[in-house]
Amino acid sequence: MTELDLPLILAGIIGAGVIVYVLLDGFDLGVGILLPLAPDDDARDAMVASIAPVWDGNETWLILGGAVLFAAFPTAYSVALPAFYIPLMAMLFALIFRGVAFEFRMKAKTSKAFWSWAFTLGSAVAAFCQGAMLGGLIEGITMDGRSFAGGPFDWFTGLSVIAGLGVMAGYALLGATWLVMKTHAPLETAARRWATVALVGVLVAMALVSGLTPLLYPAIADRWFGGMNFLALAPVPVMTAVAALMLWRGLHHGWVWEPFLMAVALFLLGYCGIGISLWPTIIPPDLTIARAAAPDSSLVFTLIAVLCTLPFVLGYTVYAYWVFRGKVTARDGYHG
């Protein structure tokens, strides 16, 4: 019987958890980013109501990914944490601040505008920090042996800023297409305009990152363009272009739920592209999945814990989205 590749399985679980978090929390962060663009307070209430039943549960996937990384790949965790300490803490504080703002906004009367802006600020900072960490990860982390050997601001580069702004645009795209699917006109009509602008921003950011990384990093260039690799990997950029065209068409031809699916497809394809570029490292440029893995006994324990927990997380996530399916109005929400 072939032995299970436990590091690869758990790395796959982390990867799946990260992309599920990005997609689910991404759209509600995007709604927060878009909140100031709403034409009136009723529209803002409808936007908040569209995410009210699910926004906090979406963050479960971030916790899952972090917990599995800590247990299964402690070396990677110990390197990534100091490397991204500043943006990571900024993201966590922004998420906390955003949560407080969300709850206070629901009950506020005279200070409702303040909490609306606070919700937007928390959403924008969290999104930018996530993108900046992604950019820093793509550029690689300075290590000495199995320890972090860089400075506290190594993550802050031109590429990380582009990635941060790109993730903000991407989350705005997810949020806008979510609103197209979940709200009524005239808010739905406005969301289509927002999604169109956000799509342009996403495509510009993807083009810049995709163009800069092979120029700056020979290993990534060789991965994509060495030998016959480009022909084998060509379906990824081709499908990305198709998804973008379908999304553009859907936004301008009255499609309701398809634009959100196309936005999800763009994220999935971008995620695949990053995975192809970085494989098999978990901390670029040199720390591989196999080298970063914990002992087999820890991996087995972690896998069992995940397999026991994951069905419940999946179950309540699917149930919540099923119960609160359909379009919403400003009067909907979970607060009386």
Give 334's pLDDT tier (boundaries 50, 70, 90). low
Distance CA 191, CA 170 (A): 14
Distance CA 63, CA 67 (A): 6
- pLDDT value at residue 117: 94
Mean pLDDT across the stretch 14-27?
A: 93
Give 76's pLDDT tier (boundaries 50, 70, 90). very high
Distance CA 76, CA 80 (A): 6
Q: Considering the chain, what percentage of its residues have pLDDT values greater than 70?
A: 97
**Residue ranges of domains in the chain, CATH in brackets:** 6-323 (1.20.1630)
- pLDDT value at residue 209: 92
Torsion sign (Cα): 24, 29, 34, 35:
positive
Query: Tokens in use for 230?
Result: 């480009």
Radius of gyration of the chain (CA): 20
Mean pLDDT across the stretch 25-39?
A: 94
- pLDDT value at residue 326: 86
* 31 touches 47 (CB < 8 A): yes
Residue 281's H or E segment, with its range, is: strand 281-283
Query: Tokens in use for 3?
Result: 């032995």
pLDDT single digits (tens) 292-330: 999 999 999 999 999 999 999 999 899 989 988 888 876
pLDDT surpasses 90 at 190: yes
Distance CA 241, CA 105 (A): 39
Amino acid, single-letter form, for residue 225: F
Q: Considering the chain, what percentage of its residues have pLDDT values greater than 90?
A: 71
* 62 touches 53 (CB < 8 A): no
Give 89's pLDDT tier (boundaries 50, 70, 90). very high
Task: Name the burial class of residue 106, with classes exposed (0-12), middle (13-18) and buried (19+) by CB atoms within 10 angstroms of its CB.
Answer: middle
- pLDDT value at residue 165: 97
- pLDDT value at residue 330: 64
Phi and psi at 85, nearest 5°, equal -60, -45
Distance CA 283, CA 201 (A): 28
pLDDT single digits (tens) 127-150: 999 999 999 999 889 998 888 998
Mean pLDDT across the stretch 217-234?
A: 86
Beta bridge partners of 288: 281
pLDDT surpasses 60 at 336: no
Amino acid, single-letter form, for residue 201: G
Mean pLDDT across the stretch 52-79?
A: 89
Write the DSSP assignment of 232-272 as a string of letters. HHTHHHHHHHHHHHHHHHHHHTT-SSHHHHHHHHHHHHHHH
Query: Tokens in use for 164?
Result: 């941060």
Helices 6-34 and 112-139, axial angle in degrees (round to 10):
140
Give 68's pLDDT tier (boundaries 50, 70, 90). very high
- Predicted TM-score (pTM) of the model is 0.93
pLDDT single digits (tens) 97-131: 999 998 898 887 888 889 999 999 999 999 999 99
pLDDT single digits (tens) 253-287: 989 999 999 999 999 999 999 999 999 999 998 89
Distance CA 163, CA 47 (A): 26
For residue 303, give Cα distances in angstroms to 59, 208, 275, 290: 21, 37, 22, 16
Beta bridge partners of 287: 283
For residue 17, give Cα distances in angstroms to 2, 21, 75, 97, 310: 26, 6, 19, 23, 10
- pLDDT value at residue 230: 84
